[in-house]
């Protein structure tokens, strides 16, 4: 198993600290948050990308998918941001599809619950297809088993399952035990 990290503007390190983490921890890659929704671009994306490459890591970029934002605009947002870095010898792009809570009038609301069930899968498929068309590679799907069961499985058909099966799957392991959940 190859080990790596995922980082974003929330990550706080410099090149020396990152370089010092790579060898002792046997790190090989860093997936870096590029964008979120239709308009947010991670402010540290380019800097973290450059530091990661300098530290000897293979890089990949991910997009946090917001279900209530237009999928086409989200794809454009990610593509625009991702084109700002050298993509030679990198990992496939990733779509982060998981719970998307937001605070509304003092309470937390899940955005996926605000979409009709039959609207969820077409939005995800549109985003994946736009990235594949642009980069000529199938993006990786990052998700949690519990999320997928709650919001996707019941609306999925055999054709949809076949479409998703064409993409590599990166499952959240919140218990960090290194095992695929069953």
To 10 degrees, the CA torsion angle through 144, 110, 94, 139? 90
- Tokens read off for 114: 């605000």
Among candidates 129, 120, 121, which has minimal Cα distance to 159? 121
Residue with tokens 């019941």: 154
Residue 93 DSSP symbol: P
**Which pLDDT score, from 0 to 100, does residue 2 have?**
86
**Which pLDDT score, from 0 to 100, does residue 156 have?**
87
Whole-angstrom Cα Rg for the chain: 17
As a whole number of angstroms, the distance between CA 77 and CA 63 comes to 9
**Which pLDDT score, from 0 to 100, does residue 175 have?**
63
Number of helices followed by number of strands (H, E) in the chain: 6, 9
pLDDT in tens, the chain (182 residues): 889 999 999 999 999 999 999 999 999 999 999 999 999 999 999 999 999 999 999 999 999 999 999 999 999 999 999 999 998 889 999 999 999 999 999 999 999 999 998 999 999 999 999 999 999 999 999 999 999 999 999 888 999 999 999 999 999 866 655 554 44
Whether the full predicted model's pTM is greater than 0.85, yes or no, is yes
Given CA atoms 154, 158, 163, 168 in this order, what sign does their dihedral have? positive
Q: What is residue 111's three-state secondary structure?
A: helix
Are 61 and 94 in contact by the 8 Å Cβ rule? The answer is yes
**Which pLDDT score, from 0 to 100, does residue 172 have?**
82
**Which pLDDT score, from 0 to 100, does residue 50 have?**
97
Instruction: Count Cβ atoms below 10 Å from residue 102 Cβ, excluding itself.
Output: 12
């Amino acid at each position: 198993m190859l080990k790596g990290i995922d980082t974003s503007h929330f990550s706080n390190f410099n090149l020396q600290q990152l370089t010092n983490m790579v060898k002792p921890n046997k790190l090989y890659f860093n997936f870096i948050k590029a964008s979120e929704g239709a308009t947010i671009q991670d402010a540290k994306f380019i800097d973290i990308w450059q530091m990661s490459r300098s530290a000897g890591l293979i890089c990949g970029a991910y997009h946090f998918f917001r279900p209530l934002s237009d999928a086409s605009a989200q794809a454009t947002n990610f593509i625009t941001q991702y084109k700002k870095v050298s993509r030679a010898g990198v990992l496939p792009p990733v779509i982060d599809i998981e719970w998307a809570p937001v605070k509304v009038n003092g309470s937390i609301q899940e955005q996926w619950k605000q979409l009709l069930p039959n609207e969820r899968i077409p939005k995800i498929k549109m985003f994946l297809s736009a990235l594949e068309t642009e980069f000529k590679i199938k993006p990786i799907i990052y998700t949690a088993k519990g999320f997928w069961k709650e919001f996707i499985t019941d609306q999925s058909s055999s054709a949809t399952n076949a479409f998703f099966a064409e993409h590599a799957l990166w499952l959240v392991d919140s218990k960090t035990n290194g095992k695929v959940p069953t």
